[in-house]
Structure 1
Amino acid sequence: MKLAIFLQHYFPYGGLQRDAVRLAIAAQAAGEQPTLIVAKWDGEKPKNIPIVELNSGGRSNHRKAARFADACQPFLSSEKFDSAIAFSRVPNAPFHFCGDSCFLEGFQANKPTLTRFLPRYRYFLTNEKLVFGPDARTHIFFLAEPDSQSYQQHYQLGDDRFSLLPPWLKQADSLDTSEGETRKKIHTELRLSEEDQLLLFVGSNFKLKRVAKIIETLPFLDDHIHLAVCGKDDPAPLEKLANLLGVAHRVHIMGPRDNIPAWMTAADLLVHPSSRETAGMVLVEALTYGLPVTCTRACGYANHVADAGGHLLSNDCPPEEIAQTINGMLAKLPSLQQKALTWAANPDHYRTADVILDRIRASID
């Protein structure tokens, strides 16, 4: 099967970007012939997988999206490909991997009605309808049930129009050192004692993920509890807040890191108070390393966190609530670590690429 995979912009550390590449690699390993078609590619390219860079241009975000979607249309009618799946919104693609929240729902909740006539909003609303609306024939792959429910509510999606995917896990990476040695190495890097405990946040867009809430929680926790933040964003606001609260010595902003498995192995608890999260791959990835997780109910994968023994925070999650949750979970770490590993051992959590490819193959048989 010759499969076109549409992705507007590839850049390192993006969740949707990683999933598109993972599907291409899985398809190739299964004997298929995938091609990644992008407007722009920043970062290292996967080996032996063809990549077509369209350089479709556009100044504003909505013009970039529009030009990319238009540039993809000839590939959909070309005999060069048997099928296609879009990770960015491309009308007429037979399959769409949905990694974004419903734009219409957010628009209705937060924007005045008249703004729908502005070019940006008009384009995104129209384009979303072309992919999800009742006249579209695109089959949607959803990562999490809350998102599928939102789109069903606004676009009357029939059950035959979408599939709900299992969490897309990969087996935990093997580390060069033992768990104890890895923990000691990270503690040494942060100048922590053996008795200190480490909270971990992994992700970009610190404002959306509300990393500040974790820092605001630190004054309510014992001094031996530290926070490491791994991700790409401006650290200045967090550093300013940590200084203001007198906890700067307990906040370690590490920037983007390539050795996240080591950090997940060394940490005691992953804390994720995000205000919105379509799925939250980092949450279930942490579980594969036996790292207990607490997150808000707003995260798409919150149900998996709960099933693995984690604690769900309210969407408001004041510092007192987060502190109480952290203290309660740290008090029973061994049992929570075992629950996380037990959940991660389920083989169904590792079949996501197979589910997608089987559905695409069935459509062209």
Structure 2
Amino acid sequence: MIEVFGQKYPNVNFINAAVAGGAGTNARAVLATRLQAGDAPDSWQGHAGQELIGTYVAAGQLEPLNFLYEENGWLDVMPETLIPLISQNGNIYSVPVNIHRANVLWYNPAVLKDAGVAVPTSLDEFFTTMDTLKAAGMDAPLALGEQWTVMHLMETILLASLGSDDYNGLWDGTKSWGDADVAEALNDFVKVLSYTNSDSASLSWQDASQLVVDGDAAFNIMGDWAEGFFKELGKEPMTEFGWAPVPGTAGTFQFLSDSFVLPTGAPHRDAAIAWLTVAGSKEGQDAFNPVKGSIPARSDGDKALYDVYLQSAMDDWAKDVVVGSLTHGVVANDSWKSEIDTALGLFLLDLNVENFQTSLVAACVASGPCE
């Protein structure tokens, strides 16, 4: 994408001040120091949604980007249900350059075939299938890793159990965390956990994915960066690994995104706008995403540039209802997510749904939109 920018704006000196470190933790620390010192970069990358809005928009540090969306026709090529998730009070605050999907069920086709079971499409089918696999001698049909992957699993089960409208309601304050059907969803989560490996806390997401392709587990629920891991292992799609929406979530695309912003008082504002224009362009996104292993936020990407999994994700992105990920920054600000993570850690010690639900209600009141 930087190459595309250089071709379009050869007279602009692009300084890539990327900071190494997974999940952007190191970069965010450097950014905080720069912002505090009044040394804002011309743009930066963060997770689309509340991770940016709840931190930087709340502090008055970002400009709205509605003018860019209108001038470039982006509202016509990005899903209608995406825009509210990257906006506040009608103002759009970031340009998503890529899309990853959170609600993906990865599976081992040979394991399912040997057990005589099909890919489940509902939570009830999921439970029945895993019961069959356990009866056949597979102790933990669902591979799981460390705690952030447990939060990732939880958000997909909440979506499957509640549906997209009520799932969205949890994050915008129109659905109470104390409702009976939320308790049912959390009980579904407990049941799902009963099919997972006991050593999950010591495993990375890659370790959990490895269990699936090795045939030691049948399933893993993980974002679609797992496909890149399987490809690195040389595994063949739909032969040595397969994918489907998390049971109960077909027709819904639970997303996360890397996106760029325009800081208030950007030192080189015109150059920053030029960068954002490239970041939101078809050419820019089609240059970046096939390399990243993600899909464009735009629905008009050139499918011929993408592999078979990413093509299927592009099809779903264009037609599905879009909802946001908790784990990856879309639906909850940092403090709210941190409180949920703390409550989840305590919950995993005793699996007491009543206490967990009480903590989730309190977290929404303390840091979310609940009263």
The answer, yes or no, to whether TM exceeds 0.5 is: no
Structure with the larger strand share: 1
Higher helix share: 2
Q: TM-score if structure 2 supplies the norm length?
A: 0.33
Higher relative contact order, chain-length normalized (CA < 8 Å, sep 6+): 2
